[in-house]
Amino acid sequence: MHRTADSETSLRIALQKDGRLTDKTINLLEGIGLQFDNYKRSLMLKCRNFDVELLLIRDDDIPEYVQDGVCDLGFVGANVTAEMGADVTTLRGLEYGMCRLSLAAKKDGIIKTVSDFEGKTIATSYPNLTRKYLEGKGISSKVVTISGAVEIAPRLEVADAVCDLVSTGNTLRANGLEEIETIFESETELIRTNKDLSPGKKKLIEKFLVRIDGHQQAGRSRYIMMNASEENVDEIKDIIPSLKSPTVMPLAEKNMVAIHTVIPIDEFWEVMEQLKSAGASGIVILPIESMIV
Ligand SMILES: Nc1ncnc2c1ncn2[C@@H]1O[C@H](COP(=O)(O)OP(=O)(O)OP(=O)(O)O)[C@@H](O)[C@H]1O
Ligand SMILES: O=P(O)(O)OC[C@H]1O[C@H](OP(=O)(O)OP(=O)(O)O)[C@H](O)[C@@H]1O
Ligand SMILES: [Mg+2]
């Protein structure tokens, strides 16, 4: 594809047009301050306030477009990039679109462990990952490529087993299948072309990553406010390891202070009961939009 002159400075980013990752990716881009018009109706969208244009395509096409330099960056499941064997660089894992690629077979059937796949027929949309995994284990199976609804292949007797994406396991269960072995763990990734980019584009990617990192870190953290009596402040600081220098402000009530801090939310829930026992009260938890450290 021919790139125009302004493509030297404007970043072109690929994302899934219509699927599981679309809304989450758009939410992420909006969360880092990028503004777009209605993305449901366009294949190509210019960002109004950042030098970025979005290309909305099928997810299977994203790794190749990024590999070939048609797009500079792409948001796509690691499962798709690995299956294509695309020559790209993963810049960030994005903690959404979490799923695994697993071998599965009929519940209560004869396939119980991975070695039972020897000589069996396996239906999958991921033939390369499946073959590679089985070859690595020294197992020879027949891999049949199916582009969708893989889970019904055993019932149709097209295959003995499947290798498919799993998240809750509901799809497998609904089709009388059980998971035997995970062969690949996946999440949505931000990938970058390995083609050489202009200095302007490299700078834009740096700016883009600062925003993504700030957004990711903010998503894992909360602004916490609580009240306590002055003599409990040290004990409270000891309970939260990352609470090294919180803001401590006097309250109108004598000997009482307000403690404000930012901490990882997982850490907060671990110690919440302990904080209450140590005298913390009126605990308020607020979301953070972005964090630049
Ligand atoms: N059940 C799931 N839970 C979480 N993430 C998933 C799940 N299934 C798939 N994904 C992730 O979302 C990506 C997109 O899934 P989707 O089902 O929308 O793809 P698709 O049908 O191949 O879409 P397209 O039309 O773009 O080719 C997958 O490649 C995977 O990374
Ligand atoms: O373990 P579960 O939570 O049931 O998720 C697994 C299912 O999710 C994906 O399909 P999706 O729902 O995206 O539909 P698709 O088959 O049309 O792509 C995947 O292909 C599985 O079929
Ligand atoms: Mg696809």
DSSP character string of 3-58: PPGGGGTSEEEEEESSSTTHHHHHHHHHHTT---S-TTS-SEEE-SSSSEEEEEE-
Range list for CATH 3.40.190.10 in the chain: 5-96+188-197, 99-185
Between 240 and 199, the higher pLDDT residue: 199
The pLDDT-based confidence of 276 (bands split at 50, 70, 90) is very high
Q: Give the pLDDT confidence score for residue 21 in this predicted structure.
A: 98
Question: For residue 2, what is the DSSP state?
Answer: P
By 3-state DSSP, what share of the chain in percent is helix, strand and coil, each rounded to 5?
35, 30, 35
Taking the centre of ligand 3 as the mean of its atom positions, its distance from the CA of residue 18, in whole angstroms, is 10
User: What is the C-alpha to C-alpha distance for residues 10 and 46, in angstroms, rounded to an integer?
Assistant: 10
Q: Which numeric CATH code is attached to 5-96+188-197?
A: 3.40.190.10
Collapse the DSSP code of 65 into the 3-class scheme (helix H, G, I; strand E, B; otherwise coil) and give the result: helix
Ligand 2 pocket by C-beta < 6 Å: which residues?
Answer: 20, 148, 151, 164-171
At 148, which amino acid appears? G
The residue-averaged pLDDT of 31-36 equals 93
CA distance 153 to 155: 6
Q: Write the DSSP symbol of residue 219.
A: H
pLDDT of 9 reads 76
146-184: pLDDT as tens digits: 999 999 999 999 999 999 999 999 999 999 999 999 999
Tell me what ipTM this predicted complex has: 0.96
Cα 234 from Cα 239, distance rounded (Å): 9
Cα 218 to ligand 3 centroid, rounded to whole Å? 30
Query: Could you tell me the CATH superfamily of domain 99-185?
Result: Periplasmic binding protein-like II (3.40.190.10)
Ligand 1 atom showing the smallest separation from residue 77 Cα: 31
Task: Indicate the fold that domain 221-287 takes in CATH.
Answer: Alpha-Beta Plaits (3.30.70)
- For β-strands 44-46 and 52-57, DSSP reports them as antiparallel
Is the pLDDT at 230 greater than 90? The verdict is: yes
pLDDT band of residue 7 (cuts 50, 70, 90) is low
Task: Specify the pTM.
Answer: 0.91
Q: Where in the chain is the domain with CATH 3.30.70.120?
A: 221-287
pLDDT surpasses 70 at 250 = yes
Q: What pLDDT does residue 4 have?
A: 47
Question: How far does the centroid of ligand 3 lie from the alpha carbon of residue 212, in Å?
Answer: 25
Closest CA to 151 of 180, 178, 120: 178
Whether residue 244 has pLDDT greater than 70 = no
- pLDDT at position 292 is 83
